[in-house]
């Protein structure tokens, strides 16, 4: 893996990679501690410079050889540890892979004990320099690295002050691996410590973070880690005789310009393997989210009629005559609304996962992901079956737009795609969609049937409606309804503001049937109620259905009134509906 920067291309050096893994055996170290170890380990061939340290660590992390966490100690730091794959492969002569081997023979010839002499003291995590190297001011830099500053005149070499580092803990108990924890003390690079020149360290870290094309949380992580490294480097230089301003300036110069360092870090973070893994995970999440919301739409379709029936029943108890027009198209429109919600959630969550795993910034991935995902969502909704009308098709065509809108504000702050707040919002949205048919609620006057007043104490006799299929209904009334002949009449209805009334142009009922009496001309239900085929009736969308008792003297009395929608259109999909309109 070749990378370019201030010090030339970074070559994946097998000696350095193996040395880093070996330094981390049994202990977690920060990036600066790893750098000190590399510098103090004699006879290790390496072409890594301090500017290439973190790109190298991020490359090893991307290749699955290192893992990192935030650890709290004297100061919260990012520490690294080798993965099981790295530990298992570290004892093999052909590790790392042959494609990245450099000076492997020299590395194998290096004495392992000598390389471990200057490792951090395992229990304390501090640097314990061996006595035979106590005269060295700072660890010797690897080949090609910036020269180590000499001691000031008369200064005495001493190791950095010990600091406590907590032992490694199981992965399940570790803090969030990608978000720096909130600082509990002033950032030593912020200049609040009062050291002259240290404000430049914070300015460098901020400038570097602003140049990185990485997700926000990853950008914050890198910025904090570089700030920690600069603080450690400047502090070490101060301990060896440098003034604060000179130490800060020297620490910055060893990392090079923020632009070059940002380029190296981006190249190390944004590996092709991570991108491919991110695409697979994001695609799976996109499909799963759409399927989840479509399944929820089925729940809505099942629950919505009971909810509207409960509302109508409550109205009946308080003396109101209510009707909810639950047309077949309206049921499909509920599915379409759920598809739009699912598309928005799929866009938001999949875009966040894509950026988080691939380590690419949102802007670099948004356009291709939004266009590709919207095309997939559009294909799905065009072939989604249901009863179509203009409103339903228009709602379905909003789904691709909702997906694009979701990608504009991705959610990638945490590994988890869901949260309590998100689950609560989802439940609320499902409840709202379930109650949407109640928005088509109308009040009606049972006395509106021409020449047919409602019986005294109306509602004592209930007209029963049985839907046998999508187009047929059967009617029944209790057998004891008094003297006279009971018929069920269907009148065309129309809406007048919030009220449903009989169509004023109608002078007689469109159809009249006798319930509870078998007739060879009609389909008889098991209860004996006669069936009406709405598909053979004129295309009125609402029907005024009234059970009428006609006394021997010809007086008509309405026993009960209900309002029904007409026959649904042909079962189809949005694409067929659009083609039929062209």
Domain ranges of the chain: 14-184+258-268, 273-440, 445-565
Higher-pLDDT residue of 263, 158? 263
- Asked whether residue 149 carries a pLDDT value surpassing 70, the answer given is no
- Asked whether residue 486 carries a pLDDT value surpassing 80, the answer given is yes
Query: What does the pLDDT read at residue 506?
Result: 86
- Asked whether residue 515 carries a pLDDT value surpassing 60, the answer given is yes
- Asked whether residue 7 carries a pLDDT value surpassing 80, the answer given is no
Query: What does the pLDDT read at residue 288?
Result: 93
Residue 167 backbone phi and psi in degrees, to 5: -65, 160
What is the SS3 string spanning 525-556?
Answer: CCCCCEEEEHHHCCCCCEEEEEEEEECCCCCE
Pull the structure tokens for residue 496.
């007048």
89 — pLDDT class (breaks 50, 70, 90): low
- What whole-number distance in Å separates Cα of residue 502 and Cα of residue 450? 8
pLDDT, average across residues 320-328: 83
Average pLDDT, the chain: 76
- Asked whether residue 36 carries a pLDDT value surpassing 70, the answer given is yes
| Top-ranked range on mean pLDDT: pick from 113-127, 422-436, 509-523 | 422-436
Cβ distance 110 to 44 under 8 Å? yes
Query: What does the pLDDT read at residue 117?
Result: 29
Higher-pLDDT residue of 17, 253? 253
- Per residue in 367-403, pLDDT (tens digit) is 999 999 999 999 999 999 988 888 999 999 999 999 9
Give the count of beta carbons closer than 10 Å to the beta carbon of residue 408: 12
Residues 6+ apart with CB under 8 A from 296: 338, 430
Cβ distance 39 to 139 under 8 Å? yes
Report CA torsion sign: 543, 544, 545, 551: negative
Residues 6+ apart with CB under 8 A from 34: 20, 23, 24, 53, 57, 80
- Asked whether residue 167 carries a pLDDT value surpassing 60, the answer given is no
- What whole-number distance in Å separates Cα of residue 101 and Cα of residue 12? 7
- Per residue in 258-286, pLDDT (tens digit) is 999 999 999 998 888 889 999 999 999 99
DSSP states along 289-347: HHHHHHHHHHHHHHHHHHHHHHHHHHHHHTT--EEE---HHHHHHHHHHHHHHHHHHHH
In degrees, rounded to 5, the angle at the alpha carbon of residue 119 between the alpha carbons of residues 116 and 123 is 120
- Asked whether residue 93 carries a pLDDT value surpassing 60, the answer given is no
pTM to 2 decimal places: 0.69
Query: What does the pLDDT read at residue 284?
Result: 94
Report CA torsion sign: 41, 160, 201, 249: negative
Burial class (CB in 10 A: 0-12, 13-18, 19+), 564: buried
Question: In which residue are the tokens 């739409």 written?
Answer: 297
- Asked whether residue 44 carries a pLDDT value surpassing 70, the answer given is no
- CATH second-level architecture of 445-565? Sandwich (2.60)
pLDDT, average across residues 483-500: 86
499 — pLDDT class (breaks 50, 70, 90): confident
460 — pLDDT class (breaks 50, 70, 90): low
Query: What does the pLDDT read at residue 494?
Result: 87
Query: What does the pLDDT read at residue 282?
Result: 93
* φ/ψ bin of 403: left (φ > 0), alpha (ψ from -120 to 50), beta (otherwise): alpha
Residues 6+ apart with CB under 8 A from 111: 43
Of 481, 543, 539, nearest to 514 (Cα)?
481
Q: Which of 151-160, 271-280, 353-362, 505-514 is the least confident region?
A: 151-160
Higher-pLDDT residue of 132, 201? 201
Higher-pLDDT residue of 151, 1? 1
What is the pairing mode between strands 485-496 and 511-513?
antiparallel
Helix/strand/coil for 21: helix
Domains 14-184+258-268 and 445-565 share a fold: no
pLDDT, average across residues 283-301: 94
Number of residues that make up the chain: 582
- CATH second-level architecture of 14-184+258-268? Orthogonal Bundle (1.10)
- Asked whether residue 313 carries a pLDDT value surpassing 60, the answer given is yes
90 — pLDDT class (breaks 50, 70, 90): low
Helix/strand/coil for 95: coil
Q: How far is CA 315 from CA 241, 323, 441, 531, in A?
A: 87, 9, 11, 28
Q: What percent of the chain has pLDDT over 90?
A: 29
Pull the structure tokens for residue 90.
């570290």
């Amino acid at each position: 893996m070749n990378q370019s920067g201030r010090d030339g291309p970074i070559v994946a050096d097998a000696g350095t990679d193996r040395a880093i893994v070996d330094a981390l055996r049994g202990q977690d170290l920060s990036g600066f501690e790893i750098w000190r170890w590399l510098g103090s380990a004699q006879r290790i061939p390496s072409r890594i410079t301090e500017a290439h340290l973190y790109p190298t660590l991020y490359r090893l992390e991307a290749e699955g050889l290192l893992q990192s966490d935030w650890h709290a100690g004297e100061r919260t730091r990012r520490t690294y540890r080798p993965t099981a794959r790295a530990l298992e492969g570290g004892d093999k002569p052909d590790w790392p892979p042959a494609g990245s081997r450099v000076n492997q023979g020299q590395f194998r010839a290096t004495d392992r004990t000598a390389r471990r002499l200057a490792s951090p003291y395992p229990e304390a995590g501090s640097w314990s320099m061996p006595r035979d190297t106590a005269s060295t001011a700072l660890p010797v830099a690897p080949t090609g690295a910036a020269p180590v500053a000499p001691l000031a005149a008369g200064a005495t070499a001493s190791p950095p002050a010990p600091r406590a580092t907590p032992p490694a803990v199981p992965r399940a108990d570790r803090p969030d691996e990608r978000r720096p924890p909130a600082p509990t003390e002033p950032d030593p690079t912020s200049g609040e410590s009062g050291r002259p020149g240290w404000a430049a360290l914070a300015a460098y870290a901020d400038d570097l973070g602003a140049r990185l094309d990485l997700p926000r949380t990853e950008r914050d992580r890198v910025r904090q880690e570089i700030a920690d490294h600069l603080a450690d480097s400047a502090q070490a230089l101060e301990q060896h005789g440098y003034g604060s301003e000179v130490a800060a300036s020297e620490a910055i110069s060893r990392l090079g310009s923020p632009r070059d360092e940002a380029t190296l870090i981006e190249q190390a973070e944004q590996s092709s393997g991570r991108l491919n893994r991110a695409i697979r995970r994001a695609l799976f999440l996109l499909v799963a989210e759409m399927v989840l919301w479509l399944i929820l739409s089925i729940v809505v379709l099942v629950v919505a009629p009971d909810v509207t029936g409960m509302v109508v029943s409550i109205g009946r108890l308080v003396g109101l005559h209510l009707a909810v027009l639950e047309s077949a198209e309206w049921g499909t429109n509920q599915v379409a609304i759920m598809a739009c919600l699912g598309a928005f959630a799929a866009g938001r969550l999949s875009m966040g996962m894509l950026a988080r795993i691939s380590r690419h910034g949102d802007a670099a991935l948004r356009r291709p992901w939004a266009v590709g995902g919207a095309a997939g969502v559009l294909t799905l909704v065009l072939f989604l079956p249901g009863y179509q009308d203009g409103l339903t098709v228009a709602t379905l065509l909003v789904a691709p737009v909702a997906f694009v809108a979701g990608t504009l504000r991705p959610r990638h702050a945490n590994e988890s795609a869901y949260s309590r707040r998100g689950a609560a919002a989802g439940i609320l949205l499902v409840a709202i969609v379930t109650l949407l048919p109640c928005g088509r609620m109308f009040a009606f006057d049972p006395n509106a049937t021409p020449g047919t007043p409602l019986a005294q104490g109306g509602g004592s006799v209930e007209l029963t409606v049985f839907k046998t299929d999508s187009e047929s209904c059967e009617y029944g009334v209790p057998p004891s309804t008094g003297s006279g002949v009971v018929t069920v009449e269907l009148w065309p209805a129309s809406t007048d503001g919030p009220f449903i009334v009989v169509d004023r142009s109608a002078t007689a009922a469109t159809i009249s049937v006798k319930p509870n009496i078998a007739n060879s001309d009609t389909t008889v239900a098991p209860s004996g109620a006669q069936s009406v085929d709405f598909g053979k009736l004129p295309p009125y969308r609402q029907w005024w259905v009234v059970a009428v008792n006609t006394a021997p003297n010809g007086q008509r009395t309405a026993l009960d009134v209900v309002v029904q929608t007409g026959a649904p259109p042909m079962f189809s999909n949005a694409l067929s509906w659009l083609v039929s309109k062209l």
